Amino acid sequence: MINQLVMVDIPGPTLDAATRAHLERYRPGGIVLFRKNIVSMQQTRDLILELKALLGDDLLMAIDAEGGGVWRMDFLPFAPSAASLGASNDPALAFEVGRAVGRGLRGMGFNWNFAPVLDVNNNPLNPVISDRSFGEDPERVAALGAAWAEGLLLEGIAPCAKHFPGHGDTALDSHHDLPRVDKPLSTLEMLELLPFKQTLALMPSIMTSHIVYPALDSLPATLSTRILTGLLREDWGYEGVIVTDSMGMAAIDAHWGRGEAAVLSIAAGADMLEGLGGLASQVATFEALEVAEREGRISADRIEASLERLRSLVRAYPIAPVEYSSDALEADRKVMQSAWQRGITRIGEASIPAPNSQIALIAASEVPGENVAELGISGAALQLALEGVYDVTPILFDPSAPLEVLPAVQAARAAGRTLVFATTTRRRLTPLVCELAFAAKPDLHLALWNAYNVTDVPAPALVTFGYRKDAIAALLEVLRGAPITGVAPVTLI
């Protein structure tokens, strides 16, 4: 039964024979789907129902559908990022976006969404949170996160608050390193912990972070009895499901290994592990847990307590697809585009070029995906979009050698074109791209992902907090004259 405390991923959009046999042998309690698994609404629904038939009615089917750069479905309206909703700062709007997200997920058959992110974004150098946070004010994060989650709940999808106790003030990415947050408990209580504590009664599940908080424990939260059992269960009285972030991330795997980390995490109080990775990694997790159960390192009572929480979750949120009509999809697209537009924020005295004027677009040619985030918008795709408003001369640079386009920038300036510099990366700009920006002295900066990049480009800016299709459509409306009403949810200048 201990294997039901593990959630795994699968290789592709269909069940191959090897994966089916693996799942039948180990019988995990949950499956999480990613971009590699999702092709269409119908295909995803069929896959989920096939997995349910294979693994049983108690199966939890999860996805990271946060919005912004963490959104797996091109065939659904693109939900605004948390930062975009933070800029509009309207809980009613966050609720409607959460409902729209929930309708799409329910249409595919999911019953669990690993969102909202309740991290307080208070570190400009954070390499992994960026647009995923509602902002730097913990009260705003709590209010908007609660409203967003309530929308999901109304549509029959279980939300999951993450990344407890808070990933907002780290300069390292736990996919690659083991971050630390060295703050006294009093500060953690006012900032990082506040959104989780204020929304505790609403959230049926919470995801742990692979971060060390010395004020709480010397172990990362995912492995910490003091944090998961002591703080969350005993001090706060939380009775919902505790799920870990991916145990394949280097913060855990590189230090403890899959098997030992799995045992430590369940013993510490986690109810479900994200045992993601290839079949060999998954087997290491399952077999370590099976041995720990036989040897008594994890008691039968401990296992049964987690199983009962997981059963309660799936009873409250069963896999039960509901038709997602074309009319509902179109209505939700309007909700998303309106929300994206309301989040667009002006920084400085940004003067918008008149429609049909001549601009030179300076942008990266390609933006790779990274870890949880999807591919960014390419320079060519952004050029094509802006050609709906302007006469565009593209100046697309290789991010590894951006200064090579300086002659083209200088020629565009001499020709009288308005220089528009677009930043399209989740991370802060590299020193070479910063050098290009300072040499170009653009007239307008379009910050399409990481809002903190406005501090690296010497120009007034429009910040969209996202680059997905519906975000770009909202930006085009602003460039054509729609009002700009967003207020940055983090300090940018």
User: Are the beta carbons of 478 and 344 closer than 8 angstroms?
Assistant: yes
- Closest by CA to 11, choosing from 41, 25, 31, is 31
* Partners of 67 in beta bridges: 70
Identify the residue whose tokens are 């940004």. Answer: 350
- The residues assigned a catalytic role are 175, 245
Q: Name 420's Cβ contacts closer than 8 Å, sequence gap at least 6.
A: 353, 359, 360, 361, 362, 386, 442, 443, 444, 445, 446
Q: Name 105's Cβ contacts closer than 8 Å, sequence gap at least 6.
A: 63, 65, 113, 152, 155, 157
As to burial, measured by CB atoms within 10 angstroms (0-12 exposed, 13-18 middle, 19+ buried), residue 106 is buried
- Closest by CA to 392, choosing from 420, 369, 434, is 420
User: Are the beta carbons of 444 and 461 closer than 8 angstroms?
Assistant: yes
User: Are the beta carbons of 281 and 258 closer than 8 angstroms?
Assistant: yes
